[in-house]
Amino acid sequence: MRILRNILFLSFSIIMLSSCNPIGEKLAEISLEGDGIATVDNINLKKGDVISIWTKVIEKDDSYTSKSGIRYNIECNGKSILFDSLNVNITEHVINSKKLDDSYIQSSSEKDSTVYYTMHQYETESKKFTAPIDGKYSFDFKPKRNQGSSFQDTKLAVILRKP
């Protein structure tokens, strides 16, 4: 009887652990285009709830994401409570990393040619935010360029997850 109980406990534990999402439930994913502001509104949080802010990056292998970042503002019940910025460099916690091959046709007066390149896509955990009070939260994100950089070869998105 004791062995059967231990086997059932072990089986239940394995099922529970395998059903857990180690990076958390995705609350929202928003693309950042140009210099515009992207917003996620009306996220109900209780005091102490944690939100992980992840950055999704798709870039040409030869581009430099260190030249870009993201400014963000977090509001609760219509009042700004945190204004800061994210660095989109690869950190120690990277998921969903993959390489994507792509190409385009380059035209010239002499002839057309196909240019091949590789895109690198990954998600990285950038920040954690802990709600200081109960309320409805809004998250505003805006891409930030450093001098001489461009988003031509880089696409950014922000993913909010609740661990």
pLDDT in tens, 3-59: 655 555 555 445 444 445 567 899 999 999 888 899 999 999 999 999 999 999 888
What are the structure tokens assigned to 93, written together?
């916690």
Percent of the chain with pLDDT over 90: 39
Average pLDDT of every residue of the chain: 81
* CB neighbours of residue 76 within 10 Å: 18
Q: 90: buried, middle or exposed (CB in 10 Å: 19+, 13-18, 0-12)?
A: middle
**How many angstroms separate the CA atoms of 161 and 51, rounded?**
6
93 falls within a domain:
yes
Tell how strand 68-76 and strand 79-87 pair up: antiparallel
Q: State the pTM of this model.
A: 0.74
What are the structure tokens assigned to 13, written together?
């534990």
- Predicted local distance difference test score (pLDDT) of residue 31: 93
Domain of residue 52: give its range.
24-162
18 falls within a domain:
no
44 falls within a domain:
yes
154 falls within a domain:
yes
101 falls within a domain:
yes
Q: What is the DSSP letter of 23?
A: T
19 falls within a domain:
no
89 falls within a domain:
yes
- Predicted local distance difference test score (pLDDT) of residue 18: 44
Q: Could you report the per-residue pLDDT of 137-158, keeping only the tens digit for each? A: 999 999 986 555 555 567 889 9
3 falls within a domain:
no
109 — pLDDT class (breaks 50, 70, 90): confident
- Predicted local distance difference test score (pLDDT) of residue 16: 46
Domain count across the chain: 1
Answer whether residue 113 shows pLDDT above 80.
yes
State the CATH number of the domain containing residue 147: 2.60.120
- Predicted local distance difference test score (pLDDT) of residue 17: 44
For residues 72-85, average pLDDT:
95
